A and B are shown apart, each in its own frame.
Chain A
Amino acid sequence: MSKNLRVKTSKFIDETYKVSFKFNGTTYYGYKGDTLASALLANDIHLVGRSFKYHRPRGIMTAGSEEPNAIVQLHNNTSRTEPNVRATEIEIYEGLEASSQNCWPSVNFDIGGINNFLSPILPAGFYYKTFMWPANFWEKYEYFIRKSAGLGKSPTETDPDIYEHKYIHCDVLIIGAGISGIMAARTAAKNGFKTLLVDEKSYLGGSTIYQNSEQFKINNQISNSWLEKEINEIKKFENLEIKTRTSVAAFHGYNFLLARENLTDHLPLDQRINKTRQRLLKIRAKKVITATGALERPLIFDNNDRPGILLSSAIEKYANLFGVACGEKNVLFTNNDSAYETAISLYQKGINIEAIIDNREEIDSKLIKETEKNNIKIYKGFTVVNTFGYKRINKISIMQLSKDGQKVVGSKISIACDCLGISGGWTPAVHLFTQSGGKLKFRDEDQVFIPDIYPSDQISIGSCNGDFTLDEIISSIPNKLKEFLNIKKTDYENLEIYSSFNKSKRNIWLLPSDKVIGKTKPFVDYQNDATAKDIKLALREGFRSIEHVKRYTTTGMGTDQGKLGNMHALGIISETAGSKMGELGTTTFRPPYTPLTFGTIVGRNVGEFFDIFRKTPVHDWHVKNKAEFENVGQWKRAWYYPKDGENMHEAVQRESKAARDSAGILDASTLGKIDIQGTDASEFLNRVYTNAWSKLAIGKCRYGLMLNEDGMVYDDGVTTRLDENHYIMTTTTGGAATVLGKLEDYLQTEWPELDVYLTSVTDHYATISVCGPSSKKIVSQVIPELDFSDESFPHMSFKNAKIDKIKCRVMRISFTGEHSYEINVQANYGKSVWEKCMEAGKEFNITPYGTETMHLLRAEKGFIIVGQDTDATMTPIDLQMDWIVSKKKYDFIGKRSLYRSDTIKDDRKQLVGLLTENPDEVLEEGAQIVADIKKSPVEMLGHVTSSYYSPNLKKSIALGVVRGGKNMMGQKLIIPMENKQINVTVADPVFLDKENKRLNA
């Protein structure tokens, strides 16, 4: 049975509220307020996981979000499972189930542990070097590498939780509710600023709140009770919002920040139903105060990664905040005064300390004297050279450091222990500051990077600014806040501070050992198993940039982003390469500071809200009549309407035939529609289309082609002159928004003198196209008052009409080559007009057809689809559409580019028709076109852009672009496919009704 290491509990733990949870299948108990880590430690469990590469046993190392080792999988094999959760952050709740990661079959016996013994042949870059050759073996290697890589398992079921996004605007955002953040919050709130205070923890007060020691006093009160009163004060402000369990993930330019607010992760599963789990806060703050504190540094020595080795500050926190002893025989190892704070805390709680190993030789701070008073043995000027114990530390050996700190001297002393606390000083948490674009400077005296140049209206205060001692923090904050917030005074002037902390420190990045470096395992990045040896190897192999060394050794690339070890990596690089720390720079700190769930990132944009989709006014009819839909941009367009058991091909063949034999009906509502008005409307159209518009009579329609300024086809469509100064332009479905944008651009920036107004009316009208030989009879029934005779209503003309009392516009235009009409009616009448057409067309076998049939019908006529038969490299000349390019017009968008040296080349890719030797063989769109298959390398002449089986011509037809194709009429070409070659002949792209007789049929 496991031991109980709970000592005198603290007020942060509710001892009356027992919580049961499972770890690796065994049930344990903790108290409300515990994290998974503190509850495990209370049960004397240190071994939590295995390391990434060597599968070494690893234990809990920290007590916060910087944890590299103790990462677990929650609720394995359920829809709520989550990998890589830090045991040091997750609060326990009744029914929590956690399991170890990266080990098989169990954390106690892990087969992968063999990698530890193979480590001499698994150096940095091992995978890069080994699995490169032979190249085609990669597929085989990959399977095994992928299997052994990766930490947790991602969920396979749909996430049952709800996530949301929220915007917050505030005057002052304060990140971190430690002593500095609390002081800032009170000052900002008291001066009337709309203030938001966030902290990733569940409680306020940072590390000061559990610093229960006579050694740290403010105005003669112990620092934690002073702070507690401050916290009670700030809770009274109405203009101050406090969010705990809220971690700032990203700090972008212009004081735009993203934070994750965790709302239910600490609740039992049955209490989470219908609640929002996490909220992504999008914060825009006028001013930002960063008070993110500092992270304690580990020390780098041989086997510094064993379970039972923790940061000294973590041991203090477990004792003071959670009332948990991390061991019964504790040893502390330090290069600064912080470990003595821990020692005093442990002593007060009655937790045994075997010894303190201090790198420093001459030390005499008040804190140390206090420690010595308690009869704790201190080894001054010593270092740990090795540790022992596979799944839990059981012994260390120490030696004396030489004067220069480069070697160890004297004889080894062994000390038995079950817990080792290490303290290498502090690293300001400048991650968010640098994310925002801030520049750091290096402070030599204690080897830290601190904020230097602020890119926006923000400051860093407290230990994230390099002020580590209580007196430094408290004495600097009032002036900083006064200047930053532009206020006269704070409540914190002339506070009396007592702090026995001394700043002296003996910084040695890589501690010396009695063994040579190749024989030791001093871990720098715990999660990714990068050792000092790996970093030195990278330097020997020629890597110099910190960014390269990072990628080669994977230092700092774990889920913890190297929060602990990055500074040591830098230190070791600079010492080895002989460069100065400040000049070396740091790797880039990228968002998020701690990992975010995908759920938080997408918020409510899941399922049908993942992307909006647009429905035409006739949509419900299509659904009712079992249309299959196709996505065109954001539109859902009816694709084809399968009748009982038909597949797509069969449906399209039937629809296409019906449209030409009698009547077809298409919902064309998605076409872009732009209303153009103004006295210069005609002139404007002249400038944006390739053809001439000034002479278009009122009531007439014209097809137009629009180019980019580089001469390439951009969009096409029919534009109708409704009145002297009033046109309605149609664009392609996909191009509607960009065409409007482009036209506005020219109007506003190049031709502001033109009197033209553009309005998008795409959604205002339903467009119903009725085509085929019977189309006239059908529309005559729908609109009996209108004269549909060819004399009165010829092809390419328009009439206003009324259906019942509803105004509509009727255009006689055709995209199929058939006699056809387009009825445009106010959107909300679209469906009823459609139904009227269906009713009137019944006797003519009117057949609804979708986009696929539309594409087939237009391909029979050789009409292009911009974006399918063209890409951004086709001019109208390439499309054999010279007829639409006005020679008379002085200028239009793209005109000059049509005779650039490149656009007048003969061997550009040009649009041609393609007929297969075997009329039943349908080409694959996108297939390559070649002339000579034997030539090496085979010269690609072009590709197939559109291809169909035409039921009206009873043969396969295709369009394609072929280099110099215009002059290849009748020539034979080859389409090489995987298993065969298809012979084709270059043909006229107009396959059907070259004389356009059907338009008036």
Chain B
Amino acid sequence: MFVINCPFCGEREQSEFKAGGEAHIIRPKQPTELSDDQWAEYLFMRKNIKGIQFERWVHTHGCRKWFNVVRDTSSDKIKAVYKMGEKPPSE
């Protein structure tokens, strides 16, 4: 069980959080102008990387805030945590 450093509350047990899938997938501003394929790309296509993955987490049993986590899926090491809207760390 990981310890996640919530950017609002600090270090908490993983059981207080929920994972929300891949991060930085932006909902298209004009969905009606997209083709089926383009919409499907947004709707269904997600990466499943062995290694560094950018993902969304929410502190469900805490502040209820969403934020981003950079996690190495092969070791579960969390490399970085940052708020929604902030730029992902480059390294």
A and B: bona fide binding partners: yes
Interface residues of A (CB under 8 A from B): 252-254, 256, 284, 437, 455, 709-710, 741, 744-745, 748-750, 752, 890-891, 895-897, 900-901
Candidates A455, A744, A897, A901; contact of B43 at CB < 8 Å: A897
- Decide if B84 touches A709 in the complex (CB within 8 Å): no
Closest A residue by C-beta to B60: A741
Closest beta carbon of chain B to A930's beta carbon, Å: 32
Which chain A positions have C-beta within 8 A of B58?
Answer: 741, 744-745
Interface: B66 (CB within 8 A): yes
Q: Shortest Cβ distance from A888 into chain B, in angstroms? A: 12
Which chain B residues (1-31) contact chain A, with CB distance < 8 Å? 1-3, 13, 18, 20, 26-27, 30-31
- On whether the beta carbons of B85 and A900 are closer than 8 Å, the reply is no
CB atoms of A253 and B1 under 8 A apart? yes
* Cross-interface CB contact of B39 among A745, A890, A900, cutoff 8 Å: A900
Residue in B34, B76, B85 whose CB lies within 8 Å of A896: B34
Contacts of A455 in B (CB 8 A): 75
Whether the pair B34, A749 counts as a contact (CB closer than 8 A) is no
Cβ-defined contact, B3 with A284, below 8 A: yes
Whether the pair B43, A745 counts as a contact (CB closer than 8 A) is no
Identify the closest chain B residue to A892 (Cβ). Answer: B31
B56 and A749 contacting across the interface, CB-CB below 8 Å: yes
Q: Which residues, 68 to 91 on B, are CB-close (under 8 Å) to A?
A: 75-76, 84-85
How many inter-chain residue pairs (CB < 8 Å) link A and B? Answer: 52
**Are B66 and A748 in contact, CB atoms less than 8 angstroms apart?**
yes
**Contact A745 B66, CB 8 Å, known A437-B75, A709-B43, A897-B39:** yes
* Closest A residue, CB atoms, query B29: A891
Please give, as numbers and ranges, the residues of chain A lying within 8 Å of B75 by CB-CB distance. 437, 455
Q: Are A745 and B20 in contact (CB under 8 A)?
A: yes
Interface size grouping (class) on chain B: 20 to 34
CB pair A710–B43 under 8 Å, yes or no, is: yes
Q: Confirm or deny: B49 has a beta carbon within 8 angstroms of a beta carbon on chain A.
A: no
Nearest-Cβ distance from residue B41 to partner chain A, whole angstroms: 12
- Docked pose: A623 CA to B3 CA in angstroms: 43
Which partner residue on chain A sits nearest B74 by CB separation? A437
Q: Which residue of A lies closest to B76 (CB)?
A: A253
Partner of B84, one of A741, A749, A890, A896: A749
Q: Which residue of A lies closest to B75 (CB)?
A: A455
The answer, among A256, A744, A752, for a CB contact under 8 Å with B85, is A752
Extra 14 A-B pairs, beta carbons < 8 Å, given A744-B58, A744-B64, A745-B66: A252-B1, A253-B2, A254-B3, A284-B3, A284-B13, A437-B76, A709-B27, A745-B58, A748-B66, A749-B84, A890-B32, A891-B31, A895-B32, A897-B39
- A residues within 8 A CB of B56? 749
Partner of A254, one of B1, B32, B36: B1
Q: How far is the CB of A280 from chain B (nearest CB, A)?
A: 14
Closest residue of B by beta carbon distance from A740: B64
Which 7 pairs show the lowest CB-CB distances between chains A and B? Answer: A896-B31, A748-B66, A256-B1, A750-B27, A253-B76, A896-B39, A254-B3
Tell me the minimal C-beta distance from B8 to chain A in angstroms: 11
Give CA–CA (A455, B76) in the complex, Å.
Answer: 10
Distance between Cα atoms of A284 and B11 in the complex (Å): 12
Q: CA of A895 to CA of B43 in the docked complex: distance in angstroms?
A: 12
Q: State in angstroms the CA–CA spacing of A895 and B27 once bound together.
A: 13
Q: Which of B1, B26, B32, B65 contacts A891 (CB 8 A)?
A: B32
B40 at the interface (CB under 8 A from A): yes
Collect the chain A residues with CB atoms within 8 Å of residue B65's CB.
748
How distant is the Cα of A709 from the Cα of B39 in the complex, in angstroms?
A: 10
Cβ contacts under 8 Å, A709 to chain B: 27, 43
Contacts of B84 in A (CB 8 A): 748-749, 752
Chain A residue at smallest Cβ distance from B18: A741
Q: Which residue of A lies closest to B68 (CB)?
A: A749
Render B33-51 as a binary contact track against A, CB cut-off 8 A, 1 for contact.
0101001100100000000
Sampled A-B contacts (19; CB under 8 Å): A252-B1, A253-B1, A254-B1, A254-B76, A437-B75, A455-B75, A709-B27, A709-B43, A741-B18, A741-B58, A741-B60, A745-B20, A745-B58, A745-B66, A750-B27, A891-B31, A896-B39, A897-B43, A900-B36
CB distance from A788 to the nearest CB of B (A): 39
> In the complex, A59→B32 CA distance in Å?
76
CB neighbours of A256 from chain B (8 A): 1
- With both beta carbons as reference points, the residue of chain A lying nearest to B32 in the complex is identified as A896
**CB atoms of A744 and B1 under 8 A apart:** no
A455 vs B18: C-alpha distance in the bound complex, in angstroms? 24
Separation of A767 and B48 alpha carbons in the complex (Å):
45
Residues of A within 8 A of B27 (CB): 709, 750
Q: Which of A284, A437, A895 contacts B31 (CB 8 A)?
A: A895
Residues of B within 8 A of A710 (CB): 43
Chain B residues in 8 Å Cβ range of A254: 1-3, 76
Give Cα A978 to B81, complex, Å: 57
- In whole angstroms, what is the CA distance A455 to B34 when docked? 45
For residue B40, which residues in chain A have a CB less than 8 angstroms away from its CB?
Answer: 900
Chain B residue contacts of A752, Cβ below 8 A: 84-85
Residues of B within 8 A of A891 (CB): 30-32
Residue of B nearest to A760 (CB): B64
For B60, list chain A residues within 8 Å (CB). 741
Shortest Cβ distance from B76 into chain A, in angstroms? Answer: 5
User: Cβ of B3: which chain A residues have Cβ within 8 Å of it?
Assistant: 254, 284
Per the bound structure, the CA–CA distance linking A385 and B36 in Å amounts to 74
Closest B residue, CB atoms, query A745? B66
Measured in the bound complex, the distance between the Cα atoms of B58 and A891 in whole Å is 26
Closest-CB distance, A684 to chain B (whole angstroms)? 14
Q: Which residues of B contact A750 (CB under 8 A)?
A: 26-27
A-side contacts of B20, CB under 8 Å: 745
- In the complex, residue of chain B having the shortest beta-carbon distance to the beta carbon of A902: B36
Report the bound CA distance from A380 to B64 in whole Å.
71
Question: Which residues of chain B have C-beta atoms less than 8 A from A253's C-beta?
Answer: 1-2, 76
Chain B minimum-CB-distance residue to A747: B66
B73 to chain A, nearest CB (A): 12
Cβ of A901 and Cβ of B2 under 8 Å apart? no
| Residue with the highest number of chain A CB atoms closer than 10 Å, among B30, B31, B32, B65 | B31
The docked-state distance in angstroms from the alpha carbon of A901 to that of B36 is 7
Which B residues are CB-close (under 8 A) to A897?
A: 39, 43
Chain A neighbourhood of B85, CB < 8 A:
752
Least Cβ distance of A382 to chain B in Å?
Answer: 49
A744 to B66 CA separation, bound complex (whole angstroms): 9
- Interchain CA distance A253-B13 in the complex, whole Å: 12
> For the complex, what is the distance from the CA of A752 to the CA of B36, rounded to whole Å?
27
Minimal Cβ-Cβ distance residue in A for B56: A749
Enumerate chain A residues within 8 angstroms of B1, measured Cβ to Cβ: 252-254, 256
- Residues of B near A749 (CB, < 8 A) are 56, 66, 84
Q: Which residues of B contact A252 (CB under 8 A)?
A: 1
Expressed in whole angstroms, the Cα–Cα distance for A482 and B19 within the complex equals 38
Q: Which residue of A lies closest to B31 (CB)?
A: A896
Cα A256 to Cα B15 with chains together (Å): 12
- What is the bound-complex CA distance between A741 and B64, given in angstroms? 8
B20 to chain A, nearest CB (A): 7
- The minimal Cβ–Cβ distance linking B13 to chain A, given in whole angstroms, is 8
The docked-state distance in angstroms from the alpha carbon of A252 to that of B40 is 38
B49-61 contact mask (Cβ, 8 Å, vs A): 1 or 0: 0000000101010
Q: How far is the CB of A873 from chain B (nearest CB, A)?
A: 15
Assembly CA distance A891 to B34 (angstroms)? 12
> Shortest beta-carbon distance, A421 to chain B, in Å?
43
Report the Cα distance A692→B1, complex, angstroms.
44
Q: How far is the CA of A891 from the CA of B31 in the complex (A)?
A: 7
Task: Report the Cα distance A895→B33, complex, angstroms.
Answer: 12
> A254 CA to B12 CA in the complex, in Å?
12
Question: How far in angstroms is the closest Cβ of chain B from A736?
Answer: 14
CA distance A748 to B20 in the complex (A): 13
* Complex alpha-carbon distance, A895 and B66, angstroms: 24
How long is the Cα–Cα vector from A897 to B31 in the complex, in angstroms? 9
Contacts of B31 on A, CB cut-off 8 Å?
Answer: 891, 895-896
Chain A proximity of B33: nearest CB distance (Å): 9
- Report chain A residues within 8 Å CB of B18: 741
> Measured between alpha carbons, how far is A55 from B48 in the docked complex, in Å?
49
In the complex the two chains form, what is the Cα distance from A631 to B3 in whole Å? 34
Cα distance A976–B27 in the bound complex, in angstroms: 45
